[in-house]
Chain A
Amino acid sequence: MMITAMTRRSALRAMMLAASTSVLAVAATGAQGADAKKIVFLVNGNLGDKSYFDLGAKGMDLVKQKYGDQVETKVIEMGTDQTKWLPTFQDVSEQDYDLIIACTFEISDIMAEVAPEYPDKTYVLIDGVMPYDKGDYGNVYSVVYKQNEGSYLAGIFAASLLKDGVVPGSQGTSLGFLGGMDIPIINDFLVGYVEGAQSVTPDIKIAISYAGTFNDAAKGKELALAQYRAGTAIGFNVAGLTGVGQLAAAKEADKWALGVNSDQELIFKDSDPAMAAKVATSMLKKVDVTLARTYDLFLEGKLPIGTVEAIGLKEEAVGLAETGNMATLAPPALKQKLDEAKVGIISGAIKVSSGFAIDQAALDKMRTAVRP
């Protein structure tokens, strides 16, 4: 019985190998140095998302450019079929990769299952956290983003556009925030945004809505329209696909939107330029920078494997999209103000509150203070 089981298992492995090689997309392979490191980026989905995965692949390119034939990089698209993720992860773990990288919280369960099986391998989880207190994940490095720091800059940017008259008062006098749910990670964006805006205009008004869903673009549009009707000129959406509805509202109401995670201007740049034109900027989580940094630290032996690290402005891992509309909207003085704030946050002179650490009473007080 034992033998049969093992043969079946190895047969399965062979099949998986065949299956996964058929979906392999080799990003870059070149002449290898004698002791070249091998790293792989596992995409739990497909490239072309104009967001995390594309940025991750770009990060792999950055690594390849920097280290040339000292490193072998590979990007594997695992597809949207979640049943393929675990076997592909196991298959890759059997091979001789030095670093196995994946991103988003969706993959954390699978990493949690596979990583303890291969204690001699090193894993990297970007924008997700391993349950370190519940298992032995000494070989996994988790990295999350200080979205509050990037959102602080978004708050300065939006409040300044209003204060400087770049966005005229006739378009509205307050800011908006459209959150997916009233939960700590969303409020981490909120508190940074509010504090940034208050640093420019202490009595700034910000309309805050929570959609209760991350999928409903129509509801996102309706909530954003309600904010725009009530005097919001610039809104910040942090609500996934619900939030994209804000862009349609901004186009219809001729107001402004701020994107999140990836550059939302790019989504509609070709298909609907009029909508793309209403995205003032986006608060980015720079997966490409994160990935390149992770590899640098790994080579230096300084990667804090087995722990979670939060990175932000200091590591250039979050920030505003500065190309596109932002480049033409922001006067030089505002760009300088943003740079100064960045320096202040990095040096610690400016303290930005965290949505994870803030208590409910303080959060309520903050929301009441900015209510239009």
Chain B
Amino acid sequence: MTFLETIAHIVDLVPVLLRVTTPILLAALGVHISQKAGVLNLGVEGMMLAAALAGVLASAASGSAWVGLAGALATGAVLGFLLSFAIHVLKADLILSGIALNMLAAAGTTLVLYMLTGDKGMSGSLSSGVLPSLAIPLIADIPVLGRLLSGHHVLTYLAFAMVPVVAVLMMRTPFGIRLRAVGESAEAAATAGIDVARMQIAALVLSGLLAGAAGAFLSMGYVSWFSQNMSGGRGFVALAADLMGYGSAWGTMAASLLLGAADAFVISLQGKGIPSELLQSLPYIVPIVALVIHARARRKRFVRI
């Protein structure tokens, strides 16, 4: 392989990396916000799944992919609200509620799909829309840079655009400061006059919105249909990405890219004679290694204090 071919090969892999990373990053940013508010959103997987179905249904009913996206976002937000309702009003356990939400979404989406279409496995019989990919004028025509920056899915751009938005929201706004104060110490925040429940509801609704966008990417970006359990554990990968992100939105992005890179690497290594069992375990080895490094680094930090 010549040098130029190698470069071309790497350039080819960038769109793969960005596609694989998009749902993880969107969901991970959602987890990040919830974690900062002290209500880690364990239901992110279920929110993605339910939103993926809602997007397809809303799009098929309206004939517009954008209405589909709105449906997916709304579903994520409503589920985020329900989760906070369970915690604050019903006083349910945060972790159990999150797990329950995942189980409900897994079975509930199949049930709804069947009731509306008569199909159990997938929504192939519905003609639902797909959100577009965007070609950036001028940049699209530049040889290598065009491939790298232009022509990606609209939600891919949204995912990466959300990183600075979330970073600023959390670190530089009064809302973000209150939210983090609640997450650091709910009692202290309450003493200072912050409405803890309201902040945590807001955090989970925002978290649900981002998980909804991640779900929409799966059913209206990657493919044009919903299928049973199509989230495929990406919500849990997003939880890992958040934990690996050192509590910052930029760190979460870096972690999401690392996990996405592991996936993209495995995809490009398929069919090269490497045992498939080894390949399939790689995307799970990466977070384990990263979390070990993370834990060691954190212990050192505590020692310093």
Contact = CB atoms under 8 A, between A and B. Distances in A.
Nearest to B127: A271
Interface in A237-273: 241, 244-245, 248, 267-268, 270-272
Contact of A226 (B111, B120, B122, B270): B270
A367 interface: yes
Given A46-B114, A217-B223, A368 B230 contact: no
A269 to B, nearest CB: 9
Interface string A89-100: 000000000000
Given A49-B120, A222-B19, A80 B114 contact: yes
Contacts of A229: 12
Given A212-B276, A215-B227, A241 B271 contact: no
Contacts of A275: 224
Q: Is the interface of A mostly helix, strand, loop or mixed?
A: mixed
Interface in B236-273: 267-268, 270-273
Contacts of A181: 276
Most chain A CB inside 10 Å of its own CB: which residue of B20, B222, B229: B222
B230 A241 contact: yes
B279 to A, nearest CB: 8
Contacts of A215: 227-230, 232
B13 to A, nearest CB: 9
B127 A272 contact: yes
A174 B81 CA distance: 50
A290 B23 CA distance: 43
Interface string A2-19: 000000000000000000
A216 interface: yes
Nearest to A206: B271
B232 A267 contact: no
A273 to B, nearest CB: 10
B16 to A, nearest CB: 7
22 contacts: A48-B118, A49-B119, A49-B121, A50-B119, A80-B114, A181-B276, A182-B275, A209-B271, A215-B230, A217-B230, A218-B218, A218-B230, A218-B232, A222-B19, A222-B267, A226-B268, A230-B271, A241-B228, A241-B230, A271-B127, A275-B224, A371-B272
B120 A45 contact: yes
Contacts of B111: 80
Chain B contact residues (Cβ within 8 angstroms of A): what range? 35 or more
B124 A248 contact: no
B223 A221 contact: yes
Interface in A179-216: 181-182, 207-210, 212-213, 215-216
Most chain A CB inside 10 Å of its own CB: which residue of B20, B121, B223: B223
B125 interface: yes
A227 interface: yes
Contacts of A368: 273
A219 interface: yes
A372 interface: yes
Chain A contact residues (Cβ within 8 angstroms of B): what range? 35 or more
B277 A218 contact: no
Contact of B126 (A213, A222, A226, A271): A271
Nearest to B23: A218
B270 A241 contact: no
B194 to A, nearest CB: 40
Nearest to B119: A48
Contacts of A222: 16, 19-20, 222, 267
B280 interface: yes
Contacts of A49: 119-121
A210 B270 contact: yes
Contacts, number: 106
A55 interface: no
Contacts of A268: 124
Given A80-B110, A212-B280, A244-B122, 7 more contacts: A47-B118, A50-B119, A80-B114, A217-B218, A229-B12, A244-B223, A245-B223
A248 B223 contact: yes
A372 B271 contact: yes
A216 B223 contact: no
Interface in A271-314: 271-272, 275
Interface in A14-71: 45-50
Most chain A CB inside 10 Å of its own CB: which residue of B128, B270, B275: B270
A371 B114 contact: no
Interface in B88-134: 110-111, 114, 118-122, 124-128
A358 to B, nearest CB: 16
Given A217-B225, A272-B224, A210 B232 contact: no
Contacts of B127: 270-272
A223 interface: yes
Nearest to B230: A217
Nearest to B226: A217
Contacts of B110: 80
A359 to B, nearest CB: 16
Nearest to A211: B280
B219 to A, nearest CB: 9
A218 B223 contact: yes
Contact of B227 (A212, A217, A367): A217
A212 B268 CA distance: 15
A245 B230 CA distance: 11
B271 A248 contact: no
B237 to A, nearest CB: 12
A210 B276 contact: yes
Contacts of B119: 48-50
Contacts of A45: 120
Nearest to A227: B271
Contacts of B121: 49, 241
